[in-house]
Amino acid sequence: EVQLVESGGVVVQPGGSLRLSCAASGFTFDDYAMHWVRQAPGKGLEWVSLISWDGGSTYYADSVKGRFTISRDNSKNSLYLQMNSLRAEDTALYYCAKDRVRSAYSYTFDYWGQGTLVTVSS
Amino acid sequence: QSALTQPASVSGSPGQSITISCTGTSSDVGSYNLVSWYQQHPGKAPKLMIYEGSKRPSGVSNRFSGSKSGNTASLTISGLQAEDEADYYCCSYAGSSPVVFGGGTKLTVL
């Protein structure tokens, strides 16, 4: 059974930093690209970032480019999101999501975690 | 990259069919066969319902179907059931961006 478990969400001040983690199990982690998707309270889904199966390629939404860094440790079946220079508008539930296709980008998310809440507030 | 355009809400009675539209541009929906649809119940994570425009993952009811015409994708739910009441989001590959979601549609089963 595929499981994705996010952690690391807390209340942080504007301008602060935070690292989110996502522990994956139930599939061959290093065969799949992984994504972060966020959802502000009461709002819709927003794609944040993508990393290739080997960690060699990364992509970001314009809203987080230059502030967030996605990474993975395939030896630990873990995905990360380093978030710097946080703003109030980054407040959201952050989901990690698995790409549907092995060793390719389908830009389709077939499994999601339950999310971890990041609140940026003074 | 602008979000895809979905109606804010749709409604239908049990047993009826409804369609949710998702309008993009020639830079996303119109150019790629990579539209997906997600169902989200309150307090829950999204669930993949349709991928590549019209394909259903294993375990998803055949009451759910997807299609595309030009820059607009559509999700149709037939034989509406109370459990279908949820928020629905479309999503498309968008080239350099590279992923864009719709704003979401709240489905109410009357």
B1 pLDDT band, cuts 50/70/90, is: low
Give contacts of A59 with chain B, Cβ < 8 Å. Answer: 98
Query: CB atoms < 10 A from the CB of B53, how many?
Result: 18
Alpha carbons A56 and B10: distance in angstroms, whole number: 42
Alpha carbons A35 and A72: distance in angstroms, whole number: 11
| Chain pair A-B, CB pairs under 8 angstroms | 62
Which residue of B28, B36, B99, B101 to mutate against A (max A Cβ within 10 Å)? Answer: B99
The answer to whether residue B2 scores a pLDDT higher than 80 is no
Query: Is B24 in CB contact (< 8 Å) with chain A?
Result: no
Which residue of A1, A3, A5, A45 to mutate against B (max B Cβ within 10 Å)? Answer: A45
Beta strands in A8-103 (DSSP E): 11-12, 18-25, 32-39, 45-51, 58-60, 68-73, 78-83, 92-102
The answer to whether residue B96 scores a pLDDT higher than 90 is no
Query: Is A3 in CB contact (< 8 Å) with chain B?
Result: no
Percent pLDDT > 70 in chain A is 100
Query: CB atoms < 10 A from the CB of A29, how many?
Result: 20
Residue of A nearest to B6 (CA): A44
The answer to whether residues A71 and A20 touch, using CB atoms and an 8 Å cutoff, is: no
CA distance to partner chain B, nearest, from residue A110 (Å): 6
Return the residue matching tokens 């889904």: A45
Mean pLDDT score of chain B: 95
Residue of A nearest to B104 (CA): A44
pLDDT tens digits, A74-84:
999 999 999 99
Percent pLDDT > 90 in chain A is 100
Q: Between chains, do A109 and B34 touch, taking CB under 8 Å as contact?
A: no
Segment B60-74 mean pLDDT: 97
Segment A35-50 mean pLDDT: 97
Segment B20-46 mean pLDDT: 95
pLDDT tens digits, A3-13:
999 999 999 99
Residue of B nearest to A43 (CA): B103
Query: Is B3 in CB contact (< 8 Å) with chain A?
Result: yes
Query: Is A56 in CB contact (< 8 Å) with chain B?
Result: no
